[in-house]
């Protein structure tokens, strides 16, 4: 009998004008749904602060040693679109976080590669899924803010076993429940790819 695989899914807390961050609301809805009997799903809210997010991500990989960590973030410009991010970038972080800081030298890891790709093939994923009422696209640029930063750090510590999903703000047509359901569909499909690797 295989022990349960741990999957960690994170959302972000409030920032700027976003007093409710749709990413965390969606992750809370996902946790009600779960990812099936074989997966031990852990959820965590990350602060929109570079250093604290980095520390928490390191802690996820060192203490929980998950099969996969999925970070969910808010793309405030997106309407009813979910964006699957393929890679994290190391440099170019000029924007201040909620505490008024940005990373030293504008980079995630001083000795890290320019970019790190997820082991999850987002293009394959994108072809294989559809979610009612929400368009899904894939991207190779997560935006050089806390989202991209967190993703890169997680890919670095997790040897590529991380994924990033950008979700739109909540609206009449995009509810936390619908986003939670979409996350469940997407992450279960990601886990199929992880399963193919394990066999």
Q: How far apart are CA 17 and CA 169, in angstroms?
A: 11
Catalytic residue of the set 147, 189, 194, 199: 147
Task: For tokens 């790819």, name the residue.
Answer: 193
Catalytic residue of the set 71, 85, 87, 108: 85
E strands present in 19-125 = 39-46, 68-74, 81-85, 87-89, 115-117
| 166 given a catalytic annotation | yes
Catalytic residue of the set 166, 189, 194, 199: 166
Three-class DSSP category at 66: coil
The first and second tokens of residue 81, run together, are 């679109």
| 85 given a catalytic annotation | yes
Q: Where are the alpha helices (DSSP H) in the chain?
A: 22-33, 50-59, 122-128, 146-157, 176-198
- Please, are residues 82 and 136 in contact by the beta-carbon 8 Å criterion? yes
* DSSP annotation of 129: -
Would you please indicate which residues are annotated as catalytic (active-site) residues?
85, 147, 166
């Amino acid at each position: 009998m295989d022990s349960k695989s741990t999957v960690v899914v994170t959302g972000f807390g409030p920032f700027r004008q976003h007093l409710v961050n749709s990413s965390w609301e969606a992750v809370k809805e996902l946790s009600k749904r779960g990812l099936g009997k074989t997966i031990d799903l852990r959820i965590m809210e990350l602060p929109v602060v570079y250093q604290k997010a980095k520390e928490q991500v390191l802690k996820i990989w060192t203490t929980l040693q998950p099969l996969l960590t999925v970070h969910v973030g808010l793309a405030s410009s997106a309407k009813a679109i979910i964006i699957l991010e393929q890679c994290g970038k190391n440099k170019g972080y000029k924007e201040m976080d909620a505490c008024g800081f940005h990373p030293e030298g504008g980079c995630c890891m001083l000795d890290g590669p320019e970019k790190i790709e997820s082991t999850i093939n987002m293009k394959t994923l994108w072809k294989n899924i559809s979610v009612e009422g929400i368009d899904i696209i894939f991207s190779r640029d997560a935006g050089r803010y806390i989202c991209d930063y967190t993703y890169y750090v997680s890919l670095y510590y997790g040897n590529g076993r991380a994924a990033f999903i950008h979700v739109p703000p909540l609206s009449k047509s995009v509810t936390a429940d619908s986003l939670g359901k979409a996350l469940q569909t997407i992450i279960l499909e990601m886990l199929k790819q992880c399963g193919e690797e394990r066999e």
